[in-house]
Amino acid sequence: MTDFRILSETVSASPQITTGDVAEAKAQGFAMIVNNRPDGEVPGQPAGSDIEACAAEHGLAYRAIPVGQAGFGPPQIAAMQAALAEADGKVLAYCRSGTRSTFLWALARASEGDSPETLAEAAARAGYDLNPMKDAMATLSAKARG
């Protein structure tokens, strides 16, 4: 069962997907899948390589930008910015619950100068709380705006 939550016109977040969800992502017009979950986080979770292979079978681009216990840093934020910029259409990002994907999307967009308030409102509409990222988003957004 899919739980693709819209963050913007071009990005949605989701809890863990399966290979069966990849076909649904294609049917909904997604062009890229971004995996923000490290392999082996919990027993039995689908392997990123399986999702990647299924994405390729369906003509979807795939990026792995794992966010583990070490959290977010400039490399993950830059990788998400690059993935969003390279996507030839809508992006579906997933992790265990969709929260890390939402956080990473917001940090990437704040790094481009997007308003933290606007990002927080979009995340809230999708059922995600960006309060833990509030200060980081403000700092990144202010830096991007000069």
- Is-contact 93 36, C-beta < 8 A? yes
Residue type (1 letter), 23: A
How confident is the model over 96-111, as pLDDT tens digits? 999 999 999 999 999 9
**What local confidence, expressed as pLDDT, does residue 69 receive?**
85
- Taking domain 5-145, whether its CATH number is 3.90.190.10 is answered by yes
Q: Which residues neighbour 43 within 8 Å (Cβ) at sequence distance 6 or greater?
A: none
As a whole number of angstroms, the longest Cα–Cα distance in the chain is 45
Distances (CA, A) of 144 to 19, 87, 97, 115, 137: 37, 21, 29, 11, 10
**pTM score above 0.75:** yes
Domain boundary assignment for the chain: 5-145
**Three-class SS state of 1:** coil
Confidence of residue 1 (pLDDT cuts 50, 70, 90): low
